[in-house]
Structure 1
């Protein structure tokens, strides 16, 4: 592991990490109590203290109610936040927890609660402590699921979620460097055993990382790959924007309806055709986002119908109806599903 991966983060480095958000009125810091998020809070507080004017920082801990230690860890975060002169809130995920898909449900609940805290506190941004290690693991998980280029771009440094900007200032920083930073500052942090629970996919992949690193697949190289794929994805989105304008995707007579000439559509590259279909379906559908595999199957059916001169085709996907009629592809909202009665 390179020496800088073991070096504490300096005040000057922290200034560069958070510089993009110095003009925000207020920022929510997502702090679970683990080393990554504790380092995020400590570094952000140090960065803010060095500024004459800057954003208000609000530390928020989400207690998912899944571990008995979580309440104590939230109290520990609150004590440290007080020492750093930061306000702190603990939010709880209440209600029945799902028996399957628990990590995804917990993640969705966490972001929902964080977004609510941001809106309540007048914050425009939520900062999370995702690291380079997290980025590498996310890339591997999505590779194994067969994700497309957009998915393999992994996590963005900044994106919108629930009406708030979600930012990840530590995405290029290895976890080892954050731990070194806390050790230098003599700051304690919690150890969540669920991070090693082999019943979940991410911990199983995490356990494989040392072996992958020996073959060159360390977090640095995997994160670099994600960054390159993000660059390619951004270029493809620009091409899709141009193709969308070229095809005049939106019908002038009906703002709720999307359509394009089938022959012109067929002449575009396959990846661009997929993206145009996805955009149209996600805009008008009510069961999205559309799955890539199903989208590819739909495109195949459309391509065959266009090539064979088939006059009509109609399919429903993700709450949208996709039809081929008289040489034109239309994408319209699907009628609501009828509920079954006994």
Structure 2
């Protein structure tokens, strides 16, 4: 079956990503062999591109048969004239959070491969269904707007490398039907239906939720709206941070009165930016940041009090002079009564349920880090 780009929804969605100059060099496709990524590879082969197209398959060696599946993808990529790269994760088995850890490892391997072949663009086959599942996961985890924005259509994967998701507006069923209409074989990953994993359990709920109106399309629309609002708040907070910044070394100092006068949503993001700029360590969780901001720092500034808290290896202090000062926490420091009263701020509370915006593998050498905590 042959379609023009205008008639074929997959090729139409993919076309902007294959335009001259978009990739800045080679394009790398992440292909596992499932229907989504298989459709991505086949559609790219049919559409053609001005840049060379390579294919990468990540094998975590988490289950029997994964090596054979990767070999199947390699053979098909070779038939299509696309160089194939097998990316095998070495190291100890994942002890917990298998799917999250595997995702992080997968993106790290893809970024490394892209650097090695000079690819400026990595494309994945994520669909609207994947977006709906992501939003549901983050909703159940108590996420803020940054998390509800879900997966971004395009983002930085690593310095000089972009990650793109051409099919984020398409239903998975459309990609399956596209493959089947053309007699294109694809693989099925049994972990996608394994109730051991939260994503698989939520996937099973989607048909029931859709009957009551909570369809994948509406969840994807929620992600678009949350992303729009988050981007606006982020831009406002970045400007406010730069305006309030007094000094960055050896301590970071902000005009606390200016920060306290901001709307809470913006002040929270300014404080997050300040912590990232000051070299915060450890997991960044929204509820801990909210406690720091709304239970301690902002009330103290508005009331003219001094307060000090420790979070993510930083001492964060509101002074009576109306400043916010951030400095590295001394090692093995004896906790003050202020800090001891809030163990959540010290990483001693229960595990966080927050999932925020997508993480970056490396912080760019220029520009600021994402404002709100990441997943």
* TM-score (normalizing by structure 2): 0.82
Alignment gaps of 5+ in structure 2: 334-375
Q: CA deviation at 1:241?
A: 2.6
Structure-1 residue corresponding to 2:192 = 195
For residues 260 and 153 of structure 2, what CA distance do their matches in structure 1 show? 34
Question: 1:139-177 CA deviation, whole Å, 9 max, x = no partner?
Answer: 010011111111110110111123221111111111001
On the 8 A contact 2:55/2:83 being kept in 1, the answer is yes
Q: CA deviation at 1:335?
A: 4.4
Q: CA deviation at 1:118?
A: 0.3
Is the alpha carbon distance of 1:148 and 1:112 closer, same or farther for their aligned partners in structure 2, counting shifts above 3 Å?
same
On the 8 A contact 2:128/2:172 being kept in 1, the answer is yes
Aligned runs of 1:48-87 on 2, under 5 Å?
A: 48=48, 51=49, 54-87=50-83
Structure-1 residue corresponding to 2:264 = 270
Question: 1:179-233 CA deviation, whole Å, 9 max, x = no partner?
Answer: 1110111111111110000011000000000011111111111101110111111
Large movers: runs of 4+ above 4 Å: 335-338
On the 8 A contact 2:281/2:313 being kept in 1, the answer is yes
- 1:294 is aligned, of 288, 296, 300, to 288
Aligned runs of 1:102-181 on 2, under 5 Å?
A: 102-163=98-159, 164-181=161-178
- 1:329 is aligned, of 308, 320, 324, to 324
Structure-2 residue corresponding to 1:46 = 46
Paired residues, what number?
323
Structure-1 residue corresponding to 2:86 = 90
Q: CA deviation at 1:65?
A: 0.4
* TM-score (normalizing by structure 1): 0.89
On the 8 A contact 1:256/1:284 being kept in 2, the answer is no
Q: CA deviation at 1:17?
A: 2.5
Secondary structure at 1:165's aligned position in 2?
strand
Moved more, 140-149 or 238-247: 238-247
Structure-2 residue corresponding to 1:303 = 298
Is the alpha carbon distance of 1:21 and 1:328 closer, same or farther for their aligned partners in structure 2, counting shifts above 3 Å?
farther
Is the alpha carbon distance of 1:157 and 1:250 closer, same or farther for their aligned partners in structure 2, counting shifts above 3 Å?
farther
Question: 1:47-104 CA deviation, whole Å, 9 max, x = no partner?
Answer: 21xx5xx111110000100111111111110111112111101111112112211111
Secondary structure at 1:89's aligned position in 2?
strand
On the 8 A contact 2:238/2:273 being kept in 1, the answer is no
For residues 9 and 206 of structure 1, what CA distance do their matches in structure 2 show? 31
On the 8 A contact 1:30/1:126 being kept in 2, the answer is yes
For residues 70 and 152 of structure 1, what CA distance do their matches in structure 2 show? 32
RMSD between aligned residues: 1.9
Alignment of 1:279 with 2:276, yes or no, is: no
Q: CA deviation at 1:121?
A: 0.5
Is the alpha carbon distance of 1:240 and 1:283 closer, same or farther for their aligned partners in structure 2, counting shifts above 3 Å?
same
On the 8 A contact 2:14/2:44 being kept in 1, the answer is no
Q: CA deviation at 1:283?
A: 1.9
On the 8 A contact 2:309/2:316 being kept in 1, the answer is yes
Is the alpha carbon distance of 1:337 and 1:130 closer, same or farther for their aligned partners in structure 2, counting shifts above 3 Å?
farther
On the 8 A contact 2:241/2:273 being kept in 1, the answer is no
On the 8 A contact 2:309/2:315 being kept in 1, the answer is yes
Alignment gaps of 5+ in structure 1: 1-7
Moved more, 197-206 or 164-173: 164-173
On the 8 A contact 1:35/1:190 being kept in 2, the answer is yes
